[in-house]
Amino acid sequence: MSILQVRGLRKTFGTVTAVDDISFDVRPGEVFTIIGPNGAGKTTTLEMIEGLQTPDAGSISIDGLTWAKDADRIKIRIGVQPQSGAMFDLLTVEETLELFAAFYPKSKSSAEVLEMINLTDHRKKRVKSLSGGQRQRLAIGLGMINDPDIIFLDEPTTGLDPQARRNIWDIILNLKAMGKTTILTTHYMEEAEKLSDRVCIVDQGRVVTLDTPGALIDRLTKEREVRLSFLDGEEAAAAAESALQAQPTVVRTARDGSSLALWSIQPEETLYGLFGFTKEQGFRVEQVSIREMSLEDVFIAFTGKEWRD
């Protein structure tokens, strides 16, 4: 059961292949996140689904409707917040919402949308004078003015400060609570991990992998990174390193002065053994940390690329 079905999408601009072969299904009510490096084809994919670009190959079905036959019916069932966020700068927030509301046969009241995007106090302000976060919230508000079943948010938090980002997360979680289907692209892994039901990693115009954030992280090798530093200096660190290398659970180690890093397939057991050794030797361990695996590691593992925010 899926509300959006994408099969074998392909789009080229001249000699550039923006989207090579993308297929996925989105289930009703879920937050579906597409992540990938710049130029991976995220925006082009969204624009094809939103009906702005015609795919060279492949098919898109939105709740059984297609752009070729049912463009007008699709338009009233989807809401879009495009990356550019272009609006009429000289209208007020309220006027903008009411103008867009007039485009649709059925719409939410502007008061209701203003409440949801938390702009009620700024409704008389001109769009020109809004802050980045307020402007972005208005763009999302315009995407939900027609009370759509599916809402597309293209990098809604890019360039916003942490507080403004959190405000937008609240809106997205709210939409989810209302049973709306949200398709999201983002640059922030933390955001994808926190908000998404499922994540689709795209690279070079292809789907690299697609699953829930938890399952993707679990799929990584069980190797975990542990970092320690020793109060007794380099000597202690070097002794600990050679002791660790004898342990079968340790894959490899690295040392920089009195700091030591190790990769273990069973960190608890490794640490148990290590602390036995340090106690025996009388070494004092200053800091210990086990790094959490995140989507960022998933991304690096699947694409072989560094992630940059």
Partner 1 sequence: MSQGKQFGKLFSANIKMMFREKQVWFWNLFFPIILMSIFILIFGGGSDKAFKAKVAVVKPEQSQAAEGMYQGLKQIPVFTWQSEEPVSQEQADSLIKNKDVDGVIVLPDNGQAQSIKLIVNRENETSATSQALRGILDHFVTQANFQKAGITPAFKLETDSITSGSEDLSSVDFLMTGMIALAIAQGGLFGMVDLVEMRRKGLLKRLRMTPVRMGLLGLASMLVRFVLGVVQIAVLTVIGVYGFGAHLHLDIATLIVAFFIGSLAFNAIGYLISSFSKSLEAYMGVANIASFLMMFISGIFFPVNSLPDWLQSVTSAIPLTYFVEGLRDGMVYGEGLVTSDFWFGIGVLALWGAIAYMIGATLYRRTKVEVR
Structure-token pair, residue 14: 């001249």
CB of 209 to partner 1, least distance (A): 23
Specify whether the backbone of 8 is left (phi greater than 0), alpha (psi in -120 to 50) or beta.
Answer: left
Using CB under 8 A as the binding rule, the residues of this chain from 162 to 221 that contact partner 1 are none
Amino acid at 217: I
Q: Which stretch binds partner 1 (CB under 8 A): 48-56, 189-197, 213-221, 273-281?
A: 48-56
Helix (H/G/I), strand (E/B), else coil: 99: helix
Give 126 or 206: the residue with its C-beta nearer to partner 1.
Answer: 126
Beta bridge partners of 79: 151
| Residue of 30, 50, 94, 203 interacting with partner 1 (CB under 8 A) | 50
* 44 near partner 1 (CB under 8 A): yes
- Supply the DSSP symbol for 88: -
* 13 near partner 1 (CB under 8 A): yes
Structure-token pair, residue 60: 């898109």
* 1 near partner 1 (CB under 8 A): no
* 15 near partner 1 (CB under 8 A): no
Length of the chain measured in residues: 309
Per DSSP, the chain holds a count of helices (H) and strands (E) of: 11, 13
Beta bridge partners of 80: 152
| Residue of 3, 62, 67, 82 interacting with partner 1 (CB under 8 A) | 82
Give 57 or 90: the residue with its C-beta nearer to partner 1.
Answer: 90
Amino acid at 222: K
* 87 near partner 1 (CB under 8 A): yes
| Residue of 25, 28, 59, 91 interacting with partner 1 (CB under 8 A) | 91
- The Cα–Cα gap between 150 and 144 comes to 9
Find, among 9, 82, 90, the residue nearest to 43 by Cα.
82
CA 305 to each of CA 124, 175, 203: distance values in angstroms, whole numbers, following the listed order: 45, 32, 10
* 37 near partner 1 (CB under 8 A): no
CB of 270 to partner 1, least distance (A): 47
- The Cα–Cα gap between 219 and 205 comes to 22
Give 67 or 230: the residue with its C-beta nearer to partner 1.
Answer: 67
| Residue of 3, 22, 30, 43 interacting with partner 1 (CB under 8 A) | 43
* 124 near partner 1 (CB under 8 A): no
CB of 176 to partner 1, least distance (A): 22
CB of 2 to partner 1, least distance (A): 22
Q: Which helix (H) or strand (E) holds 206?
A: strand 206-211
* 102 near partner 1 (CB under 8 A): yes
Q: How many residues bind partner 1 (CB under 8 A)?
A: 35
Residue 206 φ/ψ, nearest 5 degrees: -130, 155
Give 91 or 261: the residue with its C-beta nearer to partner 1.
Answer: 91
Find, among 113, 206, 119, the residue nearest to 164 by Cα.
119
Amino acid at 306: E
- The Cα–Cα gap between 200 and 149 comes to 20
Q: Which stretch binds partner 1 (CB under 8 A): 104-112, 162-170, 198-206, 226-234?
A: 104-112
| Residue of 31, 36, 53, 260 interacting with partner 1 (CB under 8 A) | 53
Binding stretches for partner 1 (CB under 8 A): 13-14, 16, 18, 43-44, 47, 50-53, 72, 75-76, 78, 80, 82, 84-88, 90-91, 95, 98-100, 102-105, 107, 126, 146
